Structure 1
Amino acid sequence: MKKLTISFCILLSALGVSAQNRKHIANFSLFQQYFNPALTGYEGSMIKTFYRDQWTGFEDAPRTIFASVELDAADISAWRKTDVLKTREDDAYNRQAGAKHAWGLSVLHDSFGPFAESQVFLSYGSRIRLSEKLSLRAGAAATYTLTRLNGNKLILDESGDTEFDEYIGKEGRVNKLDVNVGVMLTGENFYLGYALQDVGQGGLTSGKEFLNDTYALQHVAQAGYRVAVSEQVGLVANSIFRYDSNLKETVEVQGKAVFQNMFWVGGGYRHDLAYTLNAGLRVSQFRIGYVLERPTGDASIIGKNTSEFIVTYNLFQVKYPKLGKKVTMW
């Protein structure tokens, strides 16, 4: 297939057109269920959203918006029976006792040059308690993806090329159904797991053929650890590894300091692509955060920063202890 280019084709030739197929989330630790359905409901019943403005200043640069809702059966059952949520019983509530069954709905929309992609995930997660402090979680997600190609924004890199004549000035669509699966070992202050995304590798698709030969099985490994270092301060570390046969591997690490479970500040590194600085605060049941991402390595030719804004909200009120050696954020 001959390469498609858009208005900033120099950048794409430097990074690879397919590079944007891998959706990056700088605050990946707050949207764990997107990568591994086993973590659906891991933090309780919540609404989460983020907006990502990549390479600010370029026309038709990547922009992503995401929203999800997760429901933990433990919260709902306790509320129905006693009108007292398990998450409000005391300041030492152990999330290991929750999410025995959890459900989630996630929606993502991403636009980049002539391409626009919409994803819908229906996920389920279940927990088996191995011991008082250790749980095994498993999950699966049914996914639907609609990819659109706007021929009005399409430029061919060879004059007289007729292969893509059918797309010039028209719209091409591809529909895809697939499945994600994952497992996760969790404790009160750590998680470690592995997931497979796009298990069907494009086996159930319809529409145009411009995405043929681009589908690949994606491997995702995640790990996180948090520890309280004083009555008011905690440290949190998260990491993610992603691999597929087309885009190869991407490794990202992130660390943050948390004060009284209310404020956090930290930084991260996506190997050979970006450095990140992040900060946020909790206001009652809301968490509001911001990430500034600076390109480096293979992406340094861009020279433009990326901004990411996040908001999460607990559907059922949760207590957050300000004092005591307990960290409640990832």
Structure 2
Amino acid sequence: MQNIKNIVTLALFLIFGTLSAQQEGLLTNYRYHMNAYNPAYVSPEGETAITSSFRQQWTGVEEAPRTMVVSFGTRLGEKMGLGVSVMNDKTFIESQTFIGIDYSYKLKLSEKSELYLGLKVGGNTYSVNTAGLETYNIQSDPSISSLSDFNPNIGAGILLKREGLFLSLAMPRILQTDRAENLNGTATATVAEPHLYATIGYDWPLGKSHLLLKPSAMMRQVSGAPLSIDFNTMLSFDNSFELGASYRTDSAFAGLINLSLQKRLTIGFAYEVSTRNELASAKNTNELFLRFVF
């Protein structure tokens, strides 16, 4: 049984090392972690909140990707926002943690429109467990033994809000950093390319009821990988209970549920399933979500 798991893990490493060059963690419940992707999105609603998520991908595979994200945001006066975002990813032999300080500044365009400009300053720690390659019989490039370091980085973004609509465009890590990658069965040293994120969303009140429909979409683009888009729709009941679904264009569906307690603590869960044939034995992906408003 252990050998079967190792083979499945190796297959996934080979498949996704070739087909996808995306190196930054993703979340199904991305709307509550927007400042992790766009520094301009620091508490645009004027509230102080801390949010955390844990994502366990492909629960049927040992050493499958795991992502942990913590984000915090608050307002400083009328026009400025300050936040912190931390993202940790662990996949197979790789482990990386990015910590960023987020700053936003609000420009009033009209009575109903606001433009936010954001700057992210931080850095990324990255390491590779080269000894783990022996277990999976992957040939290793000797140059990757040195990939264990800290890389400073910067990011930038803009956010446009108009009543219930928001448009977001950001590149949270502009500078290239070192990493490992699979190339024809050999683990080699390479660089992590900047990721571009574009997000659109709208909060649509349904008549005079307490129902709110919240459709959104997030596009991710990085050199060497196909365009990936998440389509997410949530139905909110009196801002206390949310139920929704998500579709990712690289063949994944998810169901989401969020429950708010006294408008301060929100607990959420997302259950995701891939429709790729090569992931039939990898099983589902689980994502837990917690948010507290001070």
Using the alignment, how far apart are the partners of 1:245 and 1:280 within structure 2? 34
Does structure 1 residue 54 correspond to structure 2 residue 57? yes
**TM-score when scaled to structure 1?**
0.77
Residue matched to 1:216: 193
Say if 2:128 and 2:144, in contact at 8 Å, map to a contact too: no
Does structure 1 residue 127 correspond to structure 2 residue 106? yes
Residue matched to 2:240: 262
Q: Deviations over 1:42-81 (max 9, x none)?
A: 242111101111111321111111112212124xxxxxxx
| SS of match in other structure, 1:38 | coil
2:141 aligned to which of 159, 163, 168? 163
Q: Deviations over 1:213-242 (max 9, x none)?
A: 332232211100011113211100111111
Q: CA RMSD in A?
A: 2.5
Say if 2:21 and 2:223, in contact at 8 Å, map to a contact too: no
Q: Deviations over 1:186-222 (max 9, x none)?
A: 02311012112322223xx79xxx8753322322111
Using the alignment, how far apart are the partners of 1:201 and 1:48 within structure 2? 27
**How many residues get paired?**
277
2:252 aligned to which of 254, 269, 274? 274
Say if 2:236 and 2:242, in contact at 8 Å, map to a contact too: yes
What does 1:183-262 correspond to in 2, within 5 Å?
183-202=158-177, 212-229=189-206, 230-262=208-240
Q: Which segments of 5 or more consecutive residues in structure 1 lack a partner in the other structure?
A: 1-5, 75-97, 316-330
**TM-score when scaled to structure 2?**
0.86
What does 1:299-310 correspond to in 2, within 5 Å?
300-310=279-289
**Matched residue type, 1:164:** P
Say if 1:11 and 1:301, in contact at 8 Å, map to a contact too: no
Change (3 A) 1:11 1:58: same
Does structure 1 residue 72 correspond to structure 2 residue 75? yes
Say if 2:22 and 2:225, in contact at 8 Å, map to a contact too: no
Using the alignment, how far apart are the partners of 1:165 and 1:15 within structure 2? 21
Q: Which has the higher strand share?
A: 2
**Matched residue type, 2:61:** F
Q: Deviations over 1:10-64 (max 9, x none)?
A: 1222222655623110001111111111111224211110111111132111111
Give 1 or 2 for the bigger CA radius of gyration.
Answer: 1
Q: Deviations over 1:267-309 (max 9, x none)?
A: 0101023101000111021111100011124764454110001
Greater shift in the superposed pair: 306-315 or 55-64: 55-64
Using the alignment, how far apart are the partners of 2:219 and 2:267 within structure 1? 25
Using the alignment, how far apart are the partners of 1:163 and 1:145 within structure 2? 22
**Matched residue type, 1:150:** N
Say if 2:141 and 2:189, in contact at 8 Å, map to a contact too: no
**Matched residue type, 2:205:** A
Q: Which segments of 5 or more consecutive residues in structure 2 lack a partner in the other structure?
A: 1-5, 180-186
The percent of aligned pairs where both chains have the same amino acid is 23
Change (3 A) 1:301 1:127: same
Using the alignment, how far apart are the partners of 2:144 and 2:266 within structure 1? 47
Say if 1:138 and 1:184, in contact at 8 Å, map to a contact too: yes
Residue matched to 1:318: none
Using the alignment, how far apart are the partners of 2:140 and 2:242 within structure 1? 54
